Amino acid sequence: MQAALCTRYGAPDTVRIVDLPTPTPQANEVLIRIHASTVASGDWRLRSGTMPRGFGLISRLVFGLRRLRQPILGTEFSGTITATGPGVTRFQPGDAVVGFAGTTMRCHAEYRVMKEDAALALKPANLSDAQAAALCFGGTTALHYLRDKAHVRPGHSVLILGGAGAVGSAAVQIAKHLGAVVSTTSSAANLELLRSLGADHTLDYRTQDFTHDGPRYDVIMDTVGASTFGQTCKALRPGGLYLAIAADLPGMLAGLRQGPQGQRQLTGPAPERPADVAWLVDLAAQGHYLPVIDRSYPLAQIAEAHARVETGHKRGNVVVTMPHTD
Tell me: the pLDDT tens digits for 149-206?
999 999 999 999 999 999 999 999 999 999 999 999 999 999 999 999 999 999 999 9
Dihedral angle computed from the Cα positions of residues 244, 213, 236 and 221, in that order, rounded to the nearest 10 degrees: -30
CB-CB contact of 18 with 34 (8 Å)? no
Query: In this structure, are 35 and 149 located in the same domain?
Result: no
**What is the CATH classification number for the domain harbouring 261?**
3.40.50.720
**Total domains, the chain:** 2
Whole-angstrom distance, CA of residue 56 vs CA of residue 44? 14
- Does residue 280 sit within a domain? no
Residue 234 has pLDDT above 50, yes or no: yes
Whole-angstrom distance, CA of residue 280 vs CA of residue 293? 17
- Does residue 175 sit within a domain? yes
Query: In this structure, are 60 and 146 located in the same domain?
Result: no
Query: In this structure, are 259 and 159 located in the same domain?
Result: yes
Which pLDDT score is estimated for 253? 83
* Interval 258-309: pLDDT, tens: 999 999 999 988 999 999 999 999 999 999 999 999 999 999 999 999 999 9
Beta bridge partners of 7: none
* Interval 59-98: pLDDT, tens: 888 888 788 999 999 999 999 999 999 999 999 999 999 9
Which pLDDT score is estimated for 325? 46
Q: Which domain holds residue 218?
A: 138-267
Query: In this structure, are 126 and 150 located in the same domain?
Result: no
CB-CB contact of 234 with 261 (8 Å)? no
pTM of the predicted model, to two decimals? 0.94
CB-CB contact of 37 with 105 (8 Å)? no
Query: In this structure, are 261 and 295 located in the same domain?
Result: no
The residue among 31, 36, 122, 55 whose CA lies nearest residue 323 is 36
